[in-house]
Structure 1
Amino acid sequence: MVANKDLQIRDPFVFPVPSEGKYYLFGSTDANIWGKGTGFNVYVGTDLKEWEGPFPAFRPDENFFSDENFWAPEVHEHQGRYYMFATFRRKDNARLGTAILVSDSLLGPFVPHSDGPLTPEAWNSLDGTLFIDEEQQPWMVFCHEWKDISDGEVCAVRLTEDFKGTIGEPVTLFQASTAPWATHIVSDKIKTNDKYVTDGPYVYKAGNGELLILWASFIERSYAQGVARSASGSILGPWVHEDKALFVSDGGHDMLFRTFDGRLMLTIHTPNKTPNERPIFLEVTEQDGKLEVVGS
């Protein structure tokens, strides 16, 4: 068993299975996620404190389109199968993109489903997540990286029903700088003040029917987690940001899930520095579509 304090993982994603009384924890699990990619592991636990594993959920073969930067796996069940949305750096043009893998088991093995990334080939894109709208149309929400465009964007593109392709062009939902709480990157290496990050979008439908996107950026040097809400109720927005960040203590790349006793739980990694990143689990209250971390 491994405790959270000993578990190096970024971009944690939890898949609860009530019938088993088990939580499946996915994430960026390479010891050096900035280098060669070896695959993704999954951990299994019952109390969000200690975990069995790691179990090898995905291992690439020699024909896989990437061998570097394996990031942010999310797993979603759809029509009886498990689809993993994950970010990889392409061999052919060295750009980041989100591809989809599939498995019949949460433990894997996951295998390639889409023919490489479904994000634009010419973009650096990352952190794709699944959203299915009221008409049962699947979308992928993802980030267009700030390294391409300075002001990072959260975008959405429609998926084909088989999750193998896209329909139409991506739509920009919002830019990082439009959030009142987000600041430009403060770094010893970056000398300008026009670089804004978007990371880790996660779509959540609140109990009052409002559509929210949780996403990460920076407040100076500290990784932070914020919330935007759709004024129309549609994934296409327009999107309005909360004035203040949800979490400001150098943590982010979130998702929300329900515990087996019904609590709404936020998981993020913190601190945002390799190899010290660890998963944490924070109880969240929700009232009239507004989220607040308990005790904050």
Structure 2
Amino acid sequence: MKTVKCFFIFLVIGPTLAFAQKQEVRDSILLDSIRLSDPFILADKPSKTYYMTGTGGKLWKSKDLAYWTGPFNIVEHDTASWMGKDPMIWAAEIHQYKDQYYYFATFTNQEVFIDTVKGRPINRRASHVLVSDKPDGPYKPMADTTYLPPEKPTLDGTLWVSNDHTPYMIYCHEWLQNLDGTMEKIELKPDLSGSIGEGEILFRASDSPWSRDKRDGKIMPNMVTDGPFVFRTQTGKLGMLWTSWIYGDYTQGIAYSESGTIDGPWIQEKEPITPPNYGHGMLFKTFDGQLLMSLHSHRVGANGNYIRHPKLFRVDDSGDKIIVGKPFNP
């Protein structure tokens, strides 16, 4: 259970510390010097600025990807809602959609529990969407107070808009409850102010041929689904980045849709696409047209806490499958 146990420690401890610490805004900080899990970068053309957020929910800004200013507080959640007064924020993302900016993030209320599985209490946790008319916020709630079922712990919600212009949230139903994490989709309202209908399973953690865990002396697929990001290659192939574990190594995987739609079926690649201990990837283009993958490196510190830094890799998407190249050093 080493892998699962370590992952649980991160969920309980890592984001709590990242969110609780009050940090002063700093200028000219090198990307490698920033400690941040789940880095998501929006290249905003109107402002010619890169905006980076992630676990902890704060914002960093850069003009060149090399030097960053931050962190900024940008979230104004409803303290009377299910989130509570001071929720943990994980895996935040900023998406420009139509004429506004949307903040997809996982909020955890540490004072409310929704379930107990195998003796482990599970907090109220869900992916949710806030909105702003500027990329640097502030981001505020919209019409619906709940996007996903309150009895299910969900996380890492991301935006995908289909060819027929239907918006979806792609998210994970957490392995802590279902013991085989799922990747799911739910339709969103046209203005993203709430969800429509019920979520549908796209695939399960156990579908992965590369993830591994050892439980009760047996080698089996890992239970974790983490960090979805959906994209199309230049040939139109629909793919999804997602992350799990190979024993103690955080690992970036990928799947491709056989039908070319979000409904799949999703065919998992046999091997990871990055070196060990990188994960939670997403893709974006620089202002000069280079395609990059943003993700974080992963190692365990002397005190047992995870140490994670944003990293960038070059990506070639000219074929049916992406090829991850060398690290990009701005």
Give TM-score scaled by structure 1 length.
Answer: 0.89
**Cα offsets for 1:242-275 (capped at 9, x unmatched):** 1111124212111100112211100111115545
Describe how 1:144-293 pairs up with structure 2 within 5 A. Answer: 144-184=173-213, 195-271=222-298, 273=300, 274=305, 276-293=307-324
Matching residue of 2:82: 65
Correspondent of 1:44 among 37, 46, 61: 61
Counterpart AA for 1:208: T
- Contact kept, 8 Å, 2:156 with 2:226, in 1: the verdict is yes
Matching residue of 2:53: 26
Take 1:79 and 1:257, find their aligned partners in 2: how far apart are those partners?
18
- Contact kept, 8 Å, 2:222 with 2:244, in 1: the verdict is no
Counterpart AA for 2:103: M
Deviates more, 1:145-154 or 1:163-172: 163-172
Change (3 A) 1:75 1:191: farther
Q: Percent identity?
A: 35
Q: Secondary structure at the match of 1:180?
A: coil
Counterpart AA for 1:148: Q
Cα displacement (A) at 1:114: 4.9
Change (3 A) 1:194 1:228: closer
RMSD (Å) for aligned C-alpha atoms: 2.1
Counterpart AA for 1:250: N
Cα displacement (A) at 1:96: 1.4
Take 1:60 and 1:168, find their aligned partners in 2: how far apart are those partners?
24
Matching residue of 1:11: 38
Counterpart AA for 1:211: L
- Contact kept, 8 Å, 2:184 with 2:202, in 1: the verdict is yes
Matching residue of 1:101: 130
> Hey, which of these two has a bigger chunk of helix by percent?
2
Unaligned runs of 5+ in 1: 30-39
Q: Secondary structure at the match of 1:177?
A: helix
